[in-house]
Amino acid sequence: MSLYLRVSESAEAGRLASLRAEWTELFDAAGQPTPFLSWEWLFTFWRAFGQRRDVRILEARGRTGRLEGLLVLQGRRPALGPRRWSLLGNGLAGADALDVLARPGAEPQVRSAIASHLLRTLPEWDALDLEDLPAGSPTVEALTRALAPHGVEVEVAPRFTCPGFALRGGFAEHLRRIARRETYGRRCRWLARQPGFRIEVATSVGEMAEAMEDFLRLHRLRWAPEGGSYGIPPGRVEEFHRAVAPLLAARGFMRLYRLFVQGRSVAAVYGLELGGRFYYYQSGMDPAWSPRSPGMVLTGRTVEDAYARGLGYYDFLRGTEAYKRDWADGGQETVALRLRSPGLRAEALQAAEGAFRAARDVARRVAPERIWLALRRARRNLGLGAMGAFEGR
């Protein structure tokens, strides 16, 4: 039997706060969504970065009024120029596998209803950039099927590789498959002999402020020799994590690991856990200890802990750094779905994007790597300024 759904749209940012209970009920019912689709993550993201942007909240409801699906977009509606929207959560905080949030059993109907709504409102937008969708997401097919016959140009582009592995057997068996297992063993034994060696895991709201501050200190130390972190730069992005960590901890999603030696933490891992899945979000380390590889040891402990806790999958999220490849034997991909409505403004946007990509490719060929990284950081800082100031409420 088909499910009747009606999609309503709100542009009121206050609606995000009032949806908390229904959003949380839908999220909990939805099986295994990522923590990046939780109310805690996305509402805090909006408070941190969205104050100078518009919001579009698409709610799919059944005849009884129950919330069956949700899609939240952010963007601007300028008087001139293209009207461009993206997924709330895209950008500065590095969230992977964003998507439509839908109740189990209603997923096809929810996506179809949202696609129909986007078609009805086609005159109101020029570009939809839905980045970091899971590869193979049914959202891609649903929106393409609904919009492409009406002149909307569709592009699906690869985004990130997210290394990971299914947990099978036990940690000892996994360790035998690791190329650097002997180095890992030596580092573990050496650190374990040092005065004050211990590993702590912060999970509760009460622990989170101190543990997050310590993690941020180590993260800054790790990236200072390279000009600063691109993942969690000081300022608004750090403030976002200070605000979201206790909210996630209250839901049981936070696992912040720290390795201590000689009375001081020297490595940390910022992890999230949900639905039998561990997400390795970020890390930090005191470079003075790098010859002893505390980061490798602590990562190994998170893997060992995931086996001990009976989890099913370990997700390193975006990036194919060597330390992730040490442990992972597979992974998943994310994609960007880019939709361009027919019309002059969309065509102008497409031409501008083509020119930017061409200039970027030239810059990559002629600029030394250090200059290219500096340009990326400058662009990131401009993005931070445009996204607006953090406002605690």
**Band of the pLDDT at 53, cuts 50, 70, 90?**
confident
Fold agreement (6-160+334-387, 168-311)? yes
Is 330 buried (19+), middle (13-18) or exposed (0-12) by CB count in 10 A?
Answer: exposed
Q: State the residue for tokens 């969504």.
A: 33
Lowest mean pLDDT segment, chosen from 3-17, 55-69, 369-383 = 369-383
CATH 3.40.630.30 corresponds to the domain 168-311: yes
Give the architecture-level CATH label for domain 6-160+334-387.
3-Layer(aba) Sandwich (3.40)
Does the pLDDT at position 245 exceed 60?
Answer: yes
Amino acid at 325: R
Backbone angles phi, psi at 91, to 5 degrees: 110, -120
**Band of the pLDDT at 93, cuts 50, 70, 90?**
confident
Residue 367 pLDDT: 54
- The answer to whether 273 and 224 have CB atoms below 8 angstroms apart is no
Look up residue 367 and give its two tokens. 């600029």
The set of residues, in sequence order, having a beta carbon less than 8 Å from that of 19 and lying 6+ positions away, is 39, 57, 59, 67, 70
Residue 360 pLDDT: 52
pTM of the model: 0.88
In tens, the pLDDT along 120-143 reads 999 999 999 999 999 999 999 999
Residue 343 pLDDT: 77
- Dump the DSSP string for 142-204: HHHHHHGGGT-EEEEEEEEEEEEEE--S-HHHHHHT-TTHHHHHHHHHHHHTSTT-EEEEE-S
Question: Of all helices (H) and strands (E), which one includes residue 71?
Answer: strand 67-76
Q: Mean pLDDT over residues 299-313, rounded?
A: 97
- Please say whether the dihedral angle defined by the alpha carbons of residues 253, 43, 385 and 75, taken in this order, is positive or negative: positive
What are the extents of the domains in the chain? 6-160+334-387, 168-311
Residues listed for the chain = 393
Does the pLDDT at position 106 exceed 70?
Answer: yes
How many whole angstroms separate alpha carbon 103 and alpha carbon 31? 8
In tens, the pLDDT along 187-235 reads 999 999 999 999 999 999 999 999 999 999 999 999 999 888 889 999 9
Does the pLDDT at position 370 exceed 70?
Answer: no
Residue 384 pLDDT: 44
In tens, the pLDDT along 343-367 reads 755 556 556 556 555 555 555 555 5
